[in-house]
């Protein structure tokens, strides 16, 4: 069996935003019978007050200079948390050695490519959660993940694909419970190795990918080092991380 196939693709995050989900409470804005309700104006909370409560639902500020020029696919709003479900991949030295050969070759075609700082396989699109939804969302995910066994996967996933589809199905059910965007139809699962700002998939297609594939196929024990024992599913919501162990 050959080593896992390499692919080049452009990424497009979900731009859907969740609704506020807040409903007026009975009696809110009440007024005496026979009188017209007074117009209400909501004044902004001063920064000096907001800074007194660092653990509130305010999400992290967006600063593209801190992550290579990448820009949010949906605007940051107070109380909205970008959320993503994935399987982590703990890169070993041999894997990084392979990447040290692949990346310089790919950069001859797209010089602005940058190596990923961490590696994972996505089980969901990026969606927006309100702060008060995070814990119920994670609890629902944990309930869905408890029945899954661990498995071995490759890059691009050529073994374990059916198990990943089962995982996505359960994640999609949770997304539907919270009226969020589900994963792609007929997905293929990839471990991203590098990234760049802008769409460069045309430069990577064809000869570049063929040459990179030849490097992978000829790398010693490539088939073995591109497998990983999947022990957990993770959910990242804003700056919070949650882990769901698999059996």
- What are the tokens at 62? 């967006």
- Sign of the CA dihedral running 122, 68, 15, 194: negative
State the DSSP H helix or E strand holding residue 232, giving kind and residue range, or none if neither.
strand 232-237
Q: Give the per-residue pLDDT at 240.
A: 94
Does residue 190 have an active-site annotation? yes
- Asked if residue 116 belongs to a domain, the reply is yes
Domain interval for residue 102 = 77-245
- Asked if residue 55 belongs to a domain, the reply is no
Beta bridge partners, 153, equal 228
State the DSSP H helix or E strand holding residue 88, giving kind and residue range, or none if neither.
strand 80-89
Q: Which of 76, 120, 161, 201 is catalytic?
A: 120
Distance CA 158, CA 4 (A): 7
State the DSSP H helix or E strand holding residue 233, giving kind and residue range, or none if neither.
strand 232-237
Most distant CA atoms of the chain, gap in Å? 84
Ramachandran bin of 201, using left for φ above 0, alpha for ψ from -120 to 50, beta for the remaining angles: alpha
- Asked if residue 11 belongs to a domain, the reply is no
Q: Give the per-residue pLDDT at 191.
A: 86
CATH number of the structural domain spanning residue 98: 3.90.1140.10
Q: Give the per-residue pLDDT at 4.
A: 67
Assessment of whether the complete model's pTM goes beyond 0.85: no
- Asked if residue 58 belongs to a domain, the reply is no
- Asked if residue 70 belongs to a domain, the reply is no
- Asked if residue 182 belongs to a domain, the reply is yes
Q: Give the per-residue pLDDT at 100.
A: 94
Closest CA to 14 of 60, 83, 70, 63: 83
Q: Pseudo-torsion of CA 52, 134, 89, 172, nearest 10°?
A: -160
- Asked if residue 29 belongs to a domain, the reply is no
One digit per residue, pLDDT tens: the chain, 247 residues? 345 677 666 654 433 333 333 333 334 444 444 444 444 455 555 555 445 444 444 445 555 555 555 555 556 677 889 999 999 988 888 889 999 999 999 999 999 999 998 999 999 999 999 999 999 999 999 999 887 877 666 567 777 888 899 999 999 999 999 999 999 998 888 888 898 888 888 888 889 999 999 998 888 777 777 777 788 999 999 999 999 998 7
Q: Give the per-residue pLDDT at 231.
A: 86
Tell me the three-class secondary structure of 161-227, residue by residue: HHHHHHHHHHHHHHHHHCCCCCCCCCCCCCCCCEECCCCCHHHHCCHHHHHHHHHHHHCCCHHHHCC
Q: Which of 84, 131, 161, 190 is catalytic?
A: 190
Q: Give the per-residue pLDDT at 32.
A: 40
Total domains present in the chain: 1
Q: Give the per-residue pLDDT at 207.
A: 92
- Asked if residue 84 belongs to a domain, the reply is yes
Contacts of 221 by beta carbon, 8 Å cutoff, 6+ apart: 94
Q: Give the per-residue pLDDT at 188.
A: 85
CA of 188: how far to CAs of 80, 115, 226, in Å? Answer: 28, 21, 16
């Amino acid at each position: 069996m050959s080593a896992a196939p390499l692919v080049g693709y452009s990424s497009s995050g979900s731009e859907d935003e969740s609704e506020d989900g807040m409903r007026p409470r009975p009696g809110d804005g009440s007024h005496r019978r026979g009188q017209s309700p007074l117009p209400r104006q909501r004044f902004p909370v001063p920064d000096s007050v907001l800074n007194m409560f660092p653990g509130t639902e305010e999400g992290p500020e967006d600063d593209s200079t801190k992550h290579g020029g990448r820009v949010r696919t949906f605007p940051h709003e107070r109380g909205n948390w970008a959320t993503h479900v994935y399987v982590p991949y703990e890169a070993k030295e041999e894997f990084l050695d392979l990447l040290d050969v692949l990346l310089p070759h790919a950069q001859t075609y797209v010089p602005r490519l940058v190596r990923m700082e961490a590696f994972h396989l996505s089980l969901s699109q990026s969606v927006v959660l309100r702060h008060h939804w995070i814990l119920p969302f994670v609890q629902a995910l944990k309930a869905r993940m408890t029945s899954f066994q661990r498995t071995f996967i490759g890059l691009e996933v050529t073994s374990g694909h059916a198990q990943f589809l089962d995982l996505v199905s359960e994640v999609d059910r949770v997304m539907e419970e919270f009226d969020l965007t589900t994963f792609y139809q007929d997905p293929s699962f990839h471990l991203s190795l590098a990234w760049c700002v802008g769409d460069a998939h045309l430069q990577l297609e064809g000869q570049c990918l063929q040459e990179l594939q030849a490097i992978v196929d000829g790398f010693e024990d490539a088939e073995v080092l591109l497998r990983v024992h999947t022990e957990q599913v993770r959910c990242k919501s804003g700056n919070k991380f949650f882990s769901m162990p698999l059996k």
